[in-house]
Amino acid sequence: MKRPLLSLFAAIAVASLSGAPLRAQSSATTAAPDATPAPVDPRLAALKAAVAADVKSQALFDLGQQMVDMVFSFSELGFQEFETSRYLTGILEKEGFTIERGYAGIPTMWVARWGSGSPVIALGSDVDCIPQASQKPGVAYHDPIIEGAPGHGEGHNSGTPLNIVAAIAAKRQMQKAKIPGTLVIWPGIAEELVGTKAYYVRAGLFKDVDVVLYNHVGTDLVTSWGEGQMNGLVSIEYTFLGESAHSAGAPWRGRSALDAVELMNAGWNARREHLRLQQRSHYVITNGGDQPNVVPRNASVWYYFRETNYEQIKKLWEIGDKMAQGAALMTDTTFTSRLLGSAWPIHMNKPLALTMHDNIKAVGLPTWTEADVTLAKATQAELGVPVVGLATKIADLKGQEEIPDDERRGGGSDDIGDISWTVPTVSLRFPANFQAGPGHNWANAIPMATPIAHKGVNAGAQVIAMTVMDALLRPDVIAAAKDYFTNVQTKNRKYTPLIRETDKPAVELNTAIMQKYKPELQKYYYDPTKYKTYLEQLGITYPTVRPAPQKTTAGQ
């Protein structure tokens, strides 16, 4: 985990003092230095070294570990992050941040602010978890804490704790050096439903923000710029209304809403052959009726329509509406639809990525122990994927202003895309996980309350804190980021939200699931006053792997 302070200071000094001012360029190559470099604040290298050292201190390392473990134990689904929000805002209030709760009409959403004046630097990450992903941390095979319960199978228990640690370290140096500026921390509520960030934009959260430093759990310490392979999407629920009747006694008097749902799905699956290769679409039936002997009067199906740009997303949505219309005509039913979430495709800022990458190189990867590597390799072997262990090398910075559409083949979505088209934004991936799980799965929760996550979060917090200091003390970084955003990224494409004026956040989602599982989950909430780590509280030996099969001797 730790690097010698002198070597880190030297690396930071090189990154801070030798780098030339940034310029936005449309090519995929690194920006060339200006002929007349802007003066560098002489305090910068020392302040970056100071925030990094503070983040690495035992006190902040332990705070990060406790927050990561606590949020892991809450295991709250999207829009139901009540314990998580209460706990994290309590920590921030003790650190002097002011909290605005219930932002954008979302009960679990909050915004924390500290400082005054410009620049305004916003730190964001997600906090919700995954259905049916309960898993004991540090155990290299499927072993749920509570069978069927939610769990952090995407690792969202780590990103906001990372930002809080980074912000505390940055705030301390801002106070000591009397540096003006405002720090803003916000959580990604219901990211797994892509259900909120467009509403943050609409509510004006980023109106006065200069840059956004976002983060997401990953398997290495890396950033990138430009377009990515992820799609945008709309999330739409279609609800059909028919008429009930006795399914055996008088079925001819009924009009089945479930038939409409099934016909819509059959139509969509037939249409897939004639859709673009770039699209991804999937659905679940959220209401299939009440019981078999009653013709379903109402039924619902929930679709994700994913595509590479706004126009193609809208086309998929229009096709979905036509499918629903056809299904309603065939079954003599009616339908309504509701938007549950949306996301623009992502575009990350090049000058911010260049700055962040310098800090990534200065911080370096954590030092993994034999136990860390054993857990990673055992999990990889368990899942039948390449046994590669943990990240050992910092990757080169990569980016592409625009990926040709015919080179894209679909992928996931993140509503950070809406923010990235509203304000200059960069995202950090940090090594709190390892290559193994398929995503949105119990296997991805295995390392998320272990030393792997704790060390990965600390490394990421160092990078974020140092990048905050760059944004505070290097006006050229802010200027270049805004220039790229205005004259490159948004020159030919402007942000048009996919949400409509009448759409509202679907804050009731996941209520029933959490009501079912929360009483059991509460029995396993982490208690840092009694236990150093969540592993200790659960009585887990780190790492726990499957015992090697016993060899038998012939003749026994």
Could you read off the pLDDT of 259-314 as tens digits, one per residue? Answer: 999 999 999 999 999 999 999 999 999 999 999 999 999 999 999 999 999 999 99
Task: Give the helix ranges, DSSP H, for 185-256.
Answer: 197-203
Q: Is the pLDDT of residue 401 over 70?
A: yes
- Side-chain-side CA neighbours of residue 243 (13 Å): 9
Specify whether the CB–CB gap between 15 and 361 falls below 8 A.
Answer: yes
Supply the CATH classification number for the domain 232-343.
3.30.70.360
What's residue 406's pLDDT? Answer: 87
**Mean confidence (pLDDT) of the chain:** 93
What's residue 553's pLDDT? Answer: 55
Between residues 28 and 219, the one the model is more confident about: 219
CATH homologous superfamily for 47-230+345-492? Answer: Zn peptidases (3.40.630.10)
Nearest CA to 335 out of 283, 254, 257 is that of 257
Asked, colleague to colleague, whether 47-230+345-492 and 232-343 share their fold, the answer is: no
Work out the angle between the directed axes of helices 58-74 and 44-56 (0-180°, nearest 10): 60
Residue 113 pairs in a beta bridge with: 98, 184
Q: How far is the C-alpha of 376 from the C-alpha of 381, rounded, in Å?
A: 9
Domain range list for the chain: 47-230+345-492, 232-343
Could you read off the pLDDT of 199-235 as tens digits, one per residue? Answer: 999 999 999 999 999 999 999 999 999 998 899 999 9
Could you read off the pLDDT of 68-85 as tens digits, one per residue? Answer: 999 999 999 999 999 999
Specify whether the CB–CB gap between 440 and 264 falls below 8 A.
Answer: no
Could you read off the pLDDT of 374-385 as tens digits, one per residue? Answer: 999 999 999 999
Residue type, 478: I
The whole model's pTM is what?
0.94
Coil vs helix vs strand at 475: helix
Q: Is the pLDDT of residue 109 over 70?
A: yes
Burial class from Cβ neighbours inside 10 Å (0-12, 13-18, 19+) for residue 64 reads: buried
- Contacts of residue 144, Cβ cutoff 8 Å, sequence gap at least 6: 134, 135, 136, 151, 442
